[in-house]
Amino acid sequence: MIYTELTKKALKLCFEVHKNQLDKSGMPYVFHPFYLATQMSDEICTVCALLHDVVEDSDYTLDDIQKLGFPSEVTDALSMLTHDAATPYMEYVREIRTNPIAKRVKLADLMHNSDLSRLDTVDEKALKRIEKYKMAIELLSE
């Protein structure tokens, strides 16, 4: 993990938003963005990894994040990483390819979400989700 003034601000916001959320196995959700952040090698990617689900999972907007002092590099990537339900998933993934920061974070996100050992029960729904993630990883890796 990279610790700078900006990443510490992102850590605090990430924790504030996700502190009461649980993942599919009942584990604190905040472990997921924290894990992704440890996979990043620069400040901006670390911040984006920490904040990648903030807009989807809270009342925070991209404008709010910018007003908190996060640079446009961060909000541009977060805009790409925030999936609008009206956009088909693979179209959303194709668009992510145009932003190197978003692409790097999304690949790490998909890899972590594809780790079946995180789940207590692997059912048909989980297997279908993993297949979708494999296709997305291939698309981002082209």
Q: What is the pLDDT of residues 104-121, one digit of tens each?
A: 999 999 999 999 999 888
| pLDDT reported for residue 25 | 86
Query: Which residues form the domain of 74?
Result: 5-141
Query: What does pTM read for this prediction?
Result: 0.95
| pLDDT reported for residue 127 | 94
Residue tagged active-site, from 23, 57, 76, 95: 57
Q: Which sign, positive or negative, has the C-alpha torsion 104, 82, 37, 115? A: negative
CATH code, domain with 109: 1.10.3210.10
Residue tagged active-site, from 5, 16, 56, 91: 56
Q: What is the pLDDT of residues 17-36, one digit of tens each?
A: 999 999 988 999 999 999 99
109 is catalytic: no
Return the exposure string of 27-49: e unless at least 16 CB atoms fall within 10 Å of the residue's CB, then b: eebbebbbbbbebbeebbbbbbb
**Number of domains the chain is built from:** 1
| pLDDT reported for residue 142 | 85
| pLDDT reported for residue 13 | 98
| pLDDT reported for residue 109 | 97
